[in-house]
A and B are shown apart, each in its own frame.
Chain A
Amino acid sequence: MAFNSTQFVIFFLVVLAVHWAIARERKARFLWLTAASCLFYAGWSAKFLLLVFVSSALDWVCGGQIHRTEDPRRRKAWLALSLVGNLGLLGFFKYFNFFAENVSAALAQAGFEDAAGFVPWHIVLPAGISFYTFQTLSYTIDIYRRELAPAKSPLDFLLYVSFFPQLVAGPIVRASDFLPQLDAPARFDDGAIERGVYRMACGLAKKVLLADMIGLYLVDPVFKAPASFGAGGVVLGTWGALFQFYLDFSAYSDVAIGAAMCLGFRLEENFDRPFLAQSISEFWRRWHISLSTWFRDYVFVPLGGRGANRLAFLRNMLGTMFLTGLWHGAGWNYVLWGLMHGVFTYVGAVFRKPASPAERAARPWWERTLRRAFVFNLVAFSMLFFRNGTVAEGNRGIAGSVEMLQLLARWGPASAEARLATAGLVALALAAVIHFTPARWIHERLRERWNALPSVAQAFSLVALAGTLAALSYAKAPFKYFQF
């Protein structure tokens, strides 16, 4: 069940109403939310709910055993079991096809022609596996590090893993943030629900009115036939792709955070206006925050962080970003995208002194603007690889990226009959204006006005918005991050 569907609106209303009706009964409340989450997930596949249960059971047991024993070897053994189990599941379901395709291609190159194109099974990627696997992993690792006590009951833990607002596409919630919220009594906060509903409405509008418009009318045509639109079209297309991904994914995060807020839970912010970043490392502090902090805490720092020397730093950074790229998709384009960001971040960190927020704010306006434009275009350039994805996803893969690079290199002209649709360009311009306008000018004023509306006006606005978005999103484009 997608957030941008009529079904979800009705589903959420029912879940919300029943949830607050039984909120005094802790167990009933958690059972209800878990059942609702399972129903929500079954919209993609009931079968793969088993994987959620298996992953949860594994880490529930491992986490408990690690907590109970003081023997370092046994603690390590339980942690290893959790890592192998979770990463094994993720590796099998997400990377088996990629691995098999590459092995068969290598064998074919080596002279075994029968191996060409041979893939024993075509494994289906279960929705959300990249997200909930990282959640369960962080739970066990945090217990191993003695930074977290285990969940009080299997139900608590299952709710943490399967909580429907974040189950399919994040944000990746840490157990240390979520489990304490389960211990606190449910407190009905009318203001929080009002803010949550507003946030959800904004997210859905962002997705349908901006992200889908940019995708449909600008990005898809350019990435499908870049030669028709020339180098200028490629530049606009990659800007559009970057904005589309940001709007799409941050819209999902908005709905997830808003829905959780309505249910009395707090999820961490996942985006902080990333195109205001003045360096690549700042960009990663503003983009997909729950993922970048996960990789920082569980990969980059354990690898040694900035290390003793520049070479160690480069190794650790490239290793981390390689995995970040691979997390996004099983394809060489994603790996290249990750490595590019690793190099960008490394170069920026080594050759530039890190600046504090105050120092960044104190820079003259033209320097801030130039830096932001530079970072934005660097990230947009990397999008040229990311958006071409893999052939298996229905994209053009490496061939698409190469063609676009060649077009850029010789600044190829557009064909006479190719025209970018106005709707896509207008949506891109609007998205840019909204993004770069200070929050207090638009967002905060709008929210204040929303809060001041009487209930009947709020309800009417929501119905009108729901009808408009449903009518516009007839094709019901799925959220981009579902594929990860």
Chain B
Amino acid sequence: MDATTTPLRSKSARVAAWFVLFCALALVAAQRLQLGLCSDARHAVLRELVRAPEPAQVVFVGSSQTARGVIPEVFDARAAELGTSVRSVNLSFFGTSRQLAYLTLERWLDAHPDTKCAYVECGVLSDNQDFPHEALSRFETPSDALSLALSQPYDVRNAREFKRRKDHPPTFDPLGAFTRIERFQLHAELSLEALGRGPEDCVRALFNLAVQRGASLYWMPHEPTLGSVIDSQLSERGYYRIMPDSPLGIGGKAGVTKQAAAVSYENALAATFKDVDDFGDPSRFRATKLYAERIAALCKTRGVRLVFLDQPNFRGRPLRPSQVAYYSQLAELFQQDKSVLYREDSFQDSGHMSVVGAEFASKALAAHFVGAEKK
């Protein structure tokens, strides 16, 4: 090594030190301002809900199906009519996979140990979905990101891993060594991505500022805080609903009409899962099952009653027989009454309930909850 220029005294070392410092500052700024959330304010709303000090006895966790399909205020009111005073909170949002549900529930229970019952969505959407960018914005601190690599708590079934598994099916995997290595690698990469997102978030915020002519750092017109979002909804409709109804919903009403034409009411009620029932396949749904079991264990240790909640699609795919068997042996499984729900006005699109459907479903859930309480 050259004796005259040592690495530590070099310009390169100074550049590297400044680079790390700037990245760290950008990360801190992005985290404090929640810039990483600028693409979607709902995550911040959720975070605020989890942190909110008000106690609640019932919590709903799931994907947009539950976010749109359960109205806590309706649930609470119906439970009160049936003689049980209860406060519920819906922590569901778009694209929530099982591992995110676990993370959300764990944090909720940490903050609210007096919770009695948790309804956790299962079914076609929540058993399949996971997107890393959804997960990343849930990490609040760099230590969250680091914990990914160190403890590997999440066996992520995201698009990248899905592709990896498709490209490299686990045909040869002695003692599961390769799966372990690849899993570590995936988590290490995710944590590095989370740690390095500061500059990217700052650039996005600058872009937002430019596009909105200096009005906001965020892509959404409002800041990702609980107050503004919830207050506006409370004043508008009297209750908070995380996914407001929209005529431009996924597929929209046209999807419902099309599905209604394709599948008759009677056939839909009688329908069973017609695709390959691959839920029992050990190489698929591994993470989903792992986290369902973790959720069950978490609820058991915290003394919380766990109910898996099957939210229906409009005349669409029901739970597979093996899914029903699996969730039933793990905890209680509640399936919504499709004979009432399979009406066009109950659905906003073929996967999500409208306010009408959600009001019915929330009341049914309240009846289920009160019934179980009285037992």
- A residues in contact (CB < 8 Å) with B: 1, 5-7, 9-11, 13, 16-17, 20-21, 23-24, 39, 42-43, 45-48, 124, 185-190, 193-194, 197, 262, 455-456, 458-460, 462-464, 466-468, 470-471
* Contact (Cβ within 8 A) B5 A455: no
Residues of chain A contacted by B197 (CB below 8 angstroms)? 6, 470
- Interface secondary structure of B, over-half rule: helix
Residues of chain A contacted by B198 (CB below 8 angstroms)? 467
With A9-B196, A13-B20: A188-B6 Cβ-Cβ less than 8 Å? yes
Task: Give the Cβ gap from A261 to chain B, nearest Cβ, in Å.
Answer: 11
Which 7 A-B residue pairings sit nearest by Cβ, starting from the closest?
A: A467-B199, A459-B18, A6-B196, A46-B181, A467-B203, A455-B14, A470-B200
Residues of chain B contacted by A43 (CB below 8 angstroms)? 185, 189
Say yes or no: is B58 at the interface (Cβ < 8 Å to chain A): no
15 intermolecular pairs with C-beta atoms under 8 Å apart: A6-B200, A39-B185, A45-B182, A47-B168, A193-B10, A193-B12, A197-B12, A456-B14, A459-B17, A460-B18, A464-B203, A466-B200, A467-B201, A470-B197, A471-B203
How far apart sit A470 and B173, CA to CA, in the bound complex (Å)?
34
Contact of A47 among B7, B172, B200 (CB under 8 A): B172
Residues of chain B contacted by A23 (CB below 8 angstroms)? 1, 7
* Contact (Cβ within 8 A) B168 A187: no
- Interface secondary structure of A, over-half rule: helix
* Contact (Cβ within 8 A) B5 A190: yes
Contact of A45 among B17, B23, B168, B196 (CB under 8 A): B168
With A1-B189, A7-B192, A467-B199: A13-B19 Cβ-Cβ less than 8 Å? yes
Residues of chain A contacted by B168 (CB below 8 angstroms)? 45, 47-48, 124
* Contact (Cβ within 8 A) A466 B193: no
Binary contact readout B1-42 vs A (1 if CB under 8 angstroms, 0 otherwise): 110011100111011111111110010000000000000000
Residues of chain B contacted by A193 (CB below 8 angstroms)? 10, 12
How far apart sit A21 and B189, CA to CA, in the bound complex (Å)?
24
* Contact (Cβ within 8 A) B185 A42: yes
Contact of A188 among B7, B19, B185 (CB under 8 A): B7
Say yes or no: is B265 at the interface (Cβ < 8 Å to chain A): no
With A17-B16, A39-B185: A463-B1 Cβ-Cβ less than 8 Å? no
Contact of B192 among A11, A17, A185 (CB under 8 A): A11
Residues of chain B contacted by A9 (CB below 8 angstroms)? 196
Query: Besides the contacts A23-B1, A188-B6, A467-B198, what 11 more A-B pairs have beta carbons closer than 8 Å?
Result: A7-B189, A39-B185, A46-B177, A46-B181, A47-B168, A47-B172, A47-B173, A188-B2, A189-B2, A190-B5, A455-B18
- B residues in contact (CB < 8 Å) with A: 1-2, 5-7, 10-12, 14-23, 26, 164, 167-169, 172-173, 177-178, 181-182, 185, 188-189, 192-193, 195-204, 207
How far apart sit A459 and B199, CA to CA, in the bound complex (Å)?
12
Residues of chain B contacted by A462 (CB below 8 angstroms)? 15, 19
Interface contacts (Cβ under 8 Å), in number, total 125
Residues of chain B contacted by A459 (CB below 8 angstroms)? 14-19, 21-22
Max count, chain B CB within 10 A of own CB: residue among A10, A23, A460:
A10
Residues of chain B contacted by A471 (CB below 8 angstroms)? 200, 203-204, 207
Task: Give the Cβ gap from B186 to chain A, nearest Cβ, in Å.
Answer: 9
With A9-B196, A187-B1, A467-B199: A45-B7 Cβ-Cβ less than 8 Å? no
Q: Closest residue to A9 on the B side, CB-wise?
A: B196
How far apart sit A47 and B183, CA to CA, in the bound complex (Å)?
12
With A13-B20, A24-B1, A187-B1: A463-B199 Cβ-Cβ less than 8 Å? yes
Task: Give the Cβ gap from A338 to chain B, nearest Cβ, in Å.
Answer: 26
Q: Closest residue to A185 on the B side, CB-wise?
A: B1
* Contact (Cβ within 8 A) A464 B11: no
How far apart sit A46 and B182, CA to CA, in the bound complex (Å)?
6
* Contact (Cβ within 8 A) B22 A5: no
With A9-B196, A187-B1: A46-B12 Cβ-Cβ less than 8 Å? no
* Contact (Cβ within 8 A) A464 B19: no
Contact of A467 among B10, B15, B26, B188 (CB under 8 A): B26
Q: Closest residue to B30 on the A side, CB-wise?
A: A467
Residues of chain B contacted by A124 (CB below 8 angstroms)? 167-169
Q: Closest residue to A21 on the B side, CB-wise?
A: B7
Q: Closest residue to B179 on the A side, CB-wise?
A: A46
Residues of chain A contacted by B199 (CB below 8 angstroms)? 463-464, 466-467, 470
How far apart sit A189 and B4, CA to CA, in the bound complex (Å)?
10
Q: Closest residue to A43 on the B side, CB-wise?
A: B185
How far apart sit A44 and B14, CA to CA, in the bound complex (Å)?
33
Contact of A6 among B5, B18, B193 (CB under 8 A): B193
Contact of A197 among B15, B177, B204 (CB under 8 A): B15
Residues of chain A contacted by B172 (CB below 8 angstroms)? 47
Residues of chain B contacted by A17 (CB below 8 angstroms)? 16
Task: Give the Cβ gap from A10 to chain B, nearest Cβ, in Å.
Answer: 5
Residues of chain B contacted by A464 (CB below 8 angstroms)? 199, 203
Residues of chain B contacted by A6 (CB below 8 angstroms)? 192-193, 196-197, 200
Max count, chain A CB within 10 A of own CB: residue among B5, B21, B199:
B199
How far apart sit A405 and B361, CA to CA, in the bound complex (Å)?
59
Residues of chain B contacted by A189 (CB below 8 angstroms)? 2, 5
Max count, chain B CB within 10 A of own CB: residue among A24, A43, A188:
A188
Task: Give the Cβ gap from A93 to chain B, nearest Cβ, in Å.
Answer: 12
Contact of A7 among B1, B14, B164, B193 (CB under 8 A): B193
Max count, chain B CB within 10 A of own CB: residue among A11, A48, A193:
A193
* Contact (Cβ within 8 A) B1 A186: yes
How far apart sit A471 and B203, CA to CA, in the bound complex (Å)?
7
Contact of B19 among A185, A186, A463 (CB under 8 A): A463
How far apart sit A463 and B197, CA to CA, in the bound complex (Å)?
11
How far apart sit A189 and B182, CA to CA, in the bound complex (Å)?
35
Residues of chain B contacted by A16 (CB below 8 angstroms)? 16
How far apart sit A20 and B12, CA to CA, in the bound complex (Å)?
11
* Contact (Cβ within 8 A) A42 B203: no
Residues of chain B contacted by A5 (CB below 8 angstroms)? 189, 193
